């Protein structure tokens, strides 16, 4: 079965550079989520999109922006990178927005490991 695809899988950047992470959801999934997992930390929600519109926002720095395109893939743009941005960035998708009583899980991609030097 098709899974969530993230690219690149690994990325090394210098401080103050920019980075773009891409996420391709499972076909027919219209909801995309981004999470950041720092070393030894639990995943933290950044932002989500439903039908190409931002649906929820978490602890995402102002230096980061994201969008969902017409083909439902999403990109996370990160500018003025800092050492503390080094983390594993996960994208997840689900077939529809979360509803009470929903059995829909969020399917996670393998993650992009970003290292800022």
Partner 1 sequence: KQEVTQIPAALSVPEGENLVLNCSFTDSAIYNLQWFRQDPGKGLTSLLLIQSSQREQTSGRLNASLDKSSGRSTLYIAASQPGDSATYLCAVQNGGGSNYKLTFGKGTLLTVNP
Shortest distance, position 29 Cβ to partner 1, whole Å? 13
Shortest distance, position 47 Cβ to partner 1, whole Å? 9
The b/e string for 64-74 (b: 16+ C-beta within 10 A; e otherwise) is: bebebeeebbb
Residues at the interface with partner 1 (CB under 8 A): 31, 33, 35, 41-45, 48, 50, 55-56, 58, 88, 90, 92, 97-103, 105-111, 113
Residue 27 or 58: the one with the smaller Cβ distance to partner 1 is 58
The whole-angstrom separation of Cα 71 and Cα 7 is 16
Residue 15 or 55: the one with the smaller Cβ distance to partner 1 is 55
Nearest Cα to Cα of residue 24 among 71, 65, 77: 71
Residue 78 or 94: the one with the smaller Cβ distance to partner 1 is 94
Shortest distance, position 89 Cβ to partner 1, whole Å? 11
The whole-angstrom separation of Cα 101 and Cα 80 is 41
Residue 35 or 72: the one with the smaller Cβ distance to partner 1 is 35
């Amino acid at each position: 079965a098709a899974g969530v695809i993230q690219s690149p899988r690994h990325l090394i950047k210098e401080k103050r550079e920019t980075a773009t992470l891409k996420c391709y959801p499972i076909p027919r999934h219209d909801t995309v989520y981004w999470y950041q997992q720092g070393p030894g930390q639990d995943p933290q929600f950044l932002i989500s999109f439903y039908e190409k519109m931002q649906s929820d926002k978490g602890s995402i720095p102002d230096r980061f922006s994201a969008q969902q395109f017409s083909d439902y893939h999403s990109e996370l743009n990160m500018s003025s990178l800092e050492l503390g941005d080094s983390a594993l960035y996960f994208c997840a998708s689900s077939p529809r927005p979360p509803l009470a009583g929903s059995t829909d899980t969020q399917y996670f991609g393998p993650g992009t490991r970003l290292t800022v030097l």
